[in-house]
A and B are shown apart, each in its own frame.
Chain A
Amino acid sequence: MTRKQKRLAVIGGMGAVLLVAVLLVMTALRDEIVFFYTPSDIITGDKANSGQRIRLGGLVKEGSIVRNGSEIGFTVTDTDQEISVAYTGILPDLFREGQGVVTEGVITPQNTLIADTVLAKHDENYVPKEVADALKEKGVWQGDNKP
């Protein structure tokens, strides 16, 4: 190979690596991202298809928590619509009735979320940002309870 051919081979190789990386990123961005919805988005907005993996955010409805050993059921509400969630495992420390929560899982045709992740973050005043934004949109936001 001449020097020119070698150089072409090197640049071609680099281009191939970058191309593969770009393709991987594009595929992953199409298939592996998870959309965030509120119960209204799902029930009235009909945004999520059944079987789709989504993040559901809202408030834990008062008095909705049912425990059966490690199997837990509760309802997520945005004060307008609500979706029931089934989860097996340990709830986070700050999971409480009336508090903000984000759950991730698969939505069934009956509009129940089979969740494998429940997030409620480590701060007593914390409402997940997505939930806060969604509640603000609905006009039911209780305000920033900062110290």
Chain B
Amino acid sequence: MTVELGHYCLVLALVLSLCQSVVPIIGSQRNDMRLMATADWTAPATFLFLALSFAALVKANVTSDFSVQNVWANSHTLKPLLYKYTGVWGNHEGSMLLWVLILAMFAASVAVFGKNLPPALRANVLAVQAWILASFVLFILVTSNPFIRLDPAPFEGQDLNPVLQDIGLAIHPPLLYLGYVGFSITFSFAMAAMISGRIDAAWARWVRPWALAAWVFLTAGIAMGSYWAYYELGWGGYWFWDPVENASFIPWLTGTALLHSALVMEKREALKVWTILLALITFSMSLLGTFLVRSGVLTSVHAFATDPERGVFILAILILFIGGSLFLFAIRAPLLRTGGLFTPISREGALVFNNLFLTTAAATVLVGTLYPLVIEAVNGAKISVGEPFFNLTFGPLMIPLLLAVPIGPLLSWKRGDLMGALQRLYFAAGSALFVMILVLAFTTDAPVLAVLGIGISVWVTLGAFAEIITRSGFPKKSLPVAFKRVAGLPRSIWGSALGHAGMGLTLLGIVGVGAFQHEIITSVTPGQKVDVAGYSVQFDRVLPRKGSNYIEDVVLFNVTAPNGNTFQMQPSKRVYTTRRMPTTEAAIETFWFSQLYISPGDVALDGSVTVRFWWKPLVTLIWLGPLSMVFGGLISLSDRRLRIGAPTTAKARRKEVEVKASA
């Protein structure tokens, strides 16, 4: 019964979003407040119905209701409870339902938290959001309905793909979707602005928090997915330039560009046309990503559902939204007046530089991702575009960008002083040189590029804090005064410092692993010792064990660290009984920022095991960097309301004045 209710709620959500697609926009054209106001309740109501629908699917999964085809295909009575919850979105239908749920959540939060937006803008934003929502809910109902029943109901389910039976599935897709789908709001804002024809600095102020929130989620989602692949797949890699990874990375690049260009628009009324275009492109890339993942046109680890009908449907949605928005852009963009002149050496100039490199980089990743498709369509040849392509194209584009990152925030608006900015970066530059010399002195065969990479990462990481140090007045002012000044700085400065420093840290991790990783593949017999970067690893024995829905051979290793500490590591080979599918569970031990990684192969008949050992120096920085970016984003986000000019309601302003008066 709940399943049918869930299905019914999904249909109701479609009907409501269809209303919301039309009514508010008519209201805004006729300036009819009542029509516009309907979106204020239809948006939360749509979200409510989708949440109920989602809850019905969760219930079907948790209670193992195998009369539902989707549950039967992806669950099992013996599956651990956590994975009965997370398995809801571990398949095509469920993940699409999560997608629309998040889309509706963003629309509802604009309706609830956007009370200070001009009514016409809010109505248009919600209407555009409803167009997207209606398209995708229709897509689910027509091609990917999770509520289809099986009759007779099977006795037992087919279990979830073992690779997905991990805590990573609980976190990675929801975060990624919050990011992907979050950019729908900036898209809707851009569309709404073009419909009404009113685009100014205020628009950028309203959009920035949404863009920032989506960016924070997307950053966290990508980093989480990268770490999940690293420990779960047992290949020791953190990024494969897989089409699906690229599909999330392209919106991240353009979204990062959008964050920066919106800053220029907000402060200086410049780059309007460009910012609007970026907002459209970023969500278009999210849609393209959804298409690539969901249609299965590209072979990928993630393509767990492939069906041509779905592909065609999403392609239609894709063409409609990308084509429609660019068409509207072509008509409206010439009408936009840009203001705010600036010289090339200025904060605006630096942000344009940032945008130029980020979008070019995004374009190269896009070309590399789609090229195999194009070639196959043109002459039928099958090719693969892998890491070497991206290293040669994406890599060189990042170098000038990273070199410029610390300089940008030190330039003033309109007309900057490059020499002045560089003077404040002496410390960062000196440290970078010092570290490069250290690396050359203490390693024997470090590649030149690696030394350069380390230098750049130190430059970026330390340079990120140059603005804060300059503003504190240290060392000219005494330490207490400097601290007081730092405490008084706007939080957004900390936000950008942490964000930029995160870039440097990630680069350091990538270079550390890329150049100094130590890998040993060898066959070991019980009692045999292997030396991995100073860690003595002894193969003990193989221990069979039984889990709730799998059996495993645990390969025991006794490890002695260089400092004499001993501990045990237990990687294993698992076989999930229902699907008869083997998986490898790597064992990972963290020492500061570096990790020892052991991934076993099959146990041979004579008792020997082929094992892959890795020493991965500084590897955790690859994910600590994005964590720093996420913190930076959150700090900036918390700063919003305090910033000058940020929209506040009259009531809130009165309150603030009262508080000040009483203080």
A residues sitting closer than 8 Å to B (CB atoms) are: 6, 9-10, 13-14, 17-18, 20-21, 24-25, 27-29, 31-36, 55, 67, 69-70, 88-91, 93-94, 104, 121-124, 128-130, 133, 147
A20 surroundings in chain B (CB, below 8 A): 396
- Among candidates B382, B393, B522, B584, residue contacting A93 with C-beta atoms closer than 8 Å: B584
State the CA gap A69–B382 with chains docked (Å). 33
8 more contacts with CB within 8 A, not counting A20-B396, A121-B301, A122-B161, are A6-B343, A17-B357, A25-B367, A33-B384, A35-B383, A89-B612, A90-B611, A122-B162
Closest 5 CB pairs of A and B: A69-B523, A90-B601, A36-B382, A32-B388, A129-B299
A-B contact pairs, 20 of them (CB 8 A): A17-B356, A21-B364, A21-B397, A25-B367, A32-B385, A32-B389, A33-B384, A33-B389, A34-B385, A35-B381, A35-B383, A36-B382, A55-B382, A69-B522, A69-B608, A89-B612, A90-B521, A94-B581, A123-B161, A124-B581
B583 within 8 A of A: yes
State the CA gap A33–B583 with chains docked (Å). 30
- Structural contact, A69 and B360, CB atoms closer than 8 A: no
- Structural contact, B360 and A90, CB atoms closer than 8 A: no
- Among candidates A14, A69, A121, residue contacting B610 with C-beta atoms closer than 8 Å: A69
- Structural contact, B523 and A70, CB atoms closer than 8 A: yes
Across the interface, name the chain B residue whose C-beta is closest to A96: B582
B363 within 8 A of A: yes
B344 within 8 A of A: yes
A24 surroundings in chain B (CB, below 8 A): 364, 392-393, 396-397
- Structural contact, B384 and A55, CB atoms closer than 8 A: yes
- Structural contact, B393 and A67, CB atoms closer than 8 A: no
B 372-403 contacts with A by CB, 8 A: 381-386, 388-389, 392-393, 396-397
- Structural contact, A93 and B521, CB atoms closer than 8 A: no
- Structural contact, B393 and A28, CB atoms closer than 8 A: yes
A38: shortest Cβ distance to chain B, in Å?
A: 10
* Residue in A20, A21, A94 whose Cβ sees the most chain B Cβ within 10 Å: A21
B148 surroundings in chain A (CB, below 8 A): none
B599 within 8 A of A: yes
B 339-371 contacts with A by CB, 8 A: 343-344, 349, 356-357, 360, 363-364, 367-368, 371
Number of A-B residue pairs having CB atoms within 8 Å of each other in the complex: 112
* Residue in B384, B386, B396, B582 whose Cβ sees the most chain A Cβ within 10 Å: B384
- Structural contact, B602 and A91, CB atoms closer than 8 A: yes
A21 surroundings in chain B (CB, below 8 A): 360, 363-364, 393, 397
- Structural contact, B582 and A93, CB atoms closer than 8 A: yes
State the CA gap A25–B581 with chains docked (Å). 40
- Among candidates A13, A25, A34, A94, residue contacting B384 with C-beta atoms closer than 8 Å: A34
A28 surroundings in chain B (CB, below 8 A): 368, 388-389, 392-393
A105: shortest Cβ distance to chain B, in Å?
A: 13
B198 within 8 A of A: no
Across the interface, name the chain A residue whose C-beta is closest to B576: A124
Q: Count residues of chain B with CB under 8 A from any CB of chain A.
A: 51
Across the interface, name the chain A residue whose C-beta is closest to B360: A21
- Structural contact, A70 and B522, CB atoms closer than 8 A: yes
A91 surroundings in chain B (CB, below 8 A): 601-602
- Structural contact, A35 and B301, CB atoms closer than 8 A: no
B239: shortest Cβ distance to chain A, in Å?
A: 15
Known: A34-B383, A34-B386. A18 touches B360 (CB 8 A): yes
- Structural contact, A123 and B304, CB atoms closer than 8 A: yes
Across the interface, name the chain B residue whose C-beta is closest to A134: B382
- Among candidates B301, B599, B610, residue contacting A122 with C-beta atoms closer than 8 Å: B301
- Structural contact, B392 and A32, CB atoms closer than 8 A: yes
Residue-wise interface mask of B (51-81) relative to A, using a CB-CB cutoff of 8 A (1 in contact, 0 not): 0000000000000000000000100000000
Across the interface, name the chain A residue whose C-beta is closest to B296: A129
* Residue in A13, A93, A130 whose Cβ sees the most chain B Cβ within 10 Å: A93
A17 surroundings in chain B (CB, below 8 A): 356-357, 360
Across the interface, name the chain A residue whose C-beta is closest to B392: A28
Residue-wise interface mask of B (286-316) relative to A, using a CB-CB cutoff of 8 A (1 in contact, 0 not): 0000000000000101001000000000000
A124 surroundings in chain B (CB, below 8 A): 579-581
A42: shortest Cβ distance to chain B, in Å?
A: 14
State the CA gap A27–B581 with chains docked (Å). 41
- Among candidates B385, B582, B610, residue contacting A90 with C-beta atoms closer than 8 Å: B610
State the CA gap A144–B217 with chains docked (Å). 38
B360: shortest Cβ distance to chain A, in Å?
A: 5
State the CA gap A36–B380 with chains docked (Å). 11
Known: A17-B356, A35-B383, A89-B521. A67 touches B604 (CB 8 A): yes
B439 within 8 A of A: no
B610 surroundings in chain A (CB, below 8 A): 69-70, 89-90
State the CA gap A27–B368 with chains docked (Å). 12
A123 surroundings in chain B (CB, below 8 A): 161, 304, 581
State the CA gap A67–B602 with chains docked (Å). 11
- Structural contact, B396 and A35, CB atoms closer than 8 A: no
Known: A25-B367, A34-B383, A122-B301. A147 touches B158 (CB 8 A): yes
State the CA gap A17–B383 with chains docked (Å). 28
Across the interface, name the chain A residue whose C-beta is closest to B73: A147
Across the interface, name the chain A residue whose C-beta is closest to B608: A69
Across the interface, name the chain A residue whose C-beta is closest to B69: A147
B163 within 8 A of A: yes
B600 surroundings in chain A (CB, below 8 A): 90
State the CA gap A29–B581 with chains docked (Å). 37
B 139-168 contacts with A by CB, 8 A: 158, 161-163
Across the interface, name the chain B residue whose C-beta is closest to A18: B360
- Among candidates B383, B392, B521, B581, residue contacting A70 with C-beta atoms closer than 8 Å: B521
A70 surroundings in chain B (CB, below 8 A): 521-523, 601, 610
Across the interface, name the chain A residue whose C-beta is closest to B383: A33
B233 surroundings in chain A (CB, below 8 A): 122
A121 surroundings in chain B (CB, below 8 A): 301
- Structural contact, A130 and B363, CB atoms closer than 8 A: no
A10 surroundings in chain B (CB, below 8 A): 344, 349
A55 surroundings in chain B (CB, below 8 A): 382, 384
State the CA gap A6–B396 with chains docked (Å). 26
State the CA gap A39–B30 with chains docked (Å). 68
A128 surroundings in chain B (CB, below 8 A): 299
State the CA gap A123–B558 with chains docked (Å). 33
B612 surroundings in chain A (CB, below 8 A): 89-90
State the CA gap A28–B390 with chains docked (Å). 8
B98: shortest Cβ distance to chain A, in Å?
A: 22
State the CA gap A20–B363 with chains docked (Å). 13
B601 surroundings in chain A (CB, below 8 A): 70, 90-91
State the CA gap A104–B382 with chains docked (Å). 13
A104 surroundings in chain B (CB, below 8 A): 384
A31 surroundings in chain B (CB, below 8 A): 392
State the CA gap A123–B163 with chains docked (Å). 9
B158 surroundings in chain A (CB, below 8 A): 147
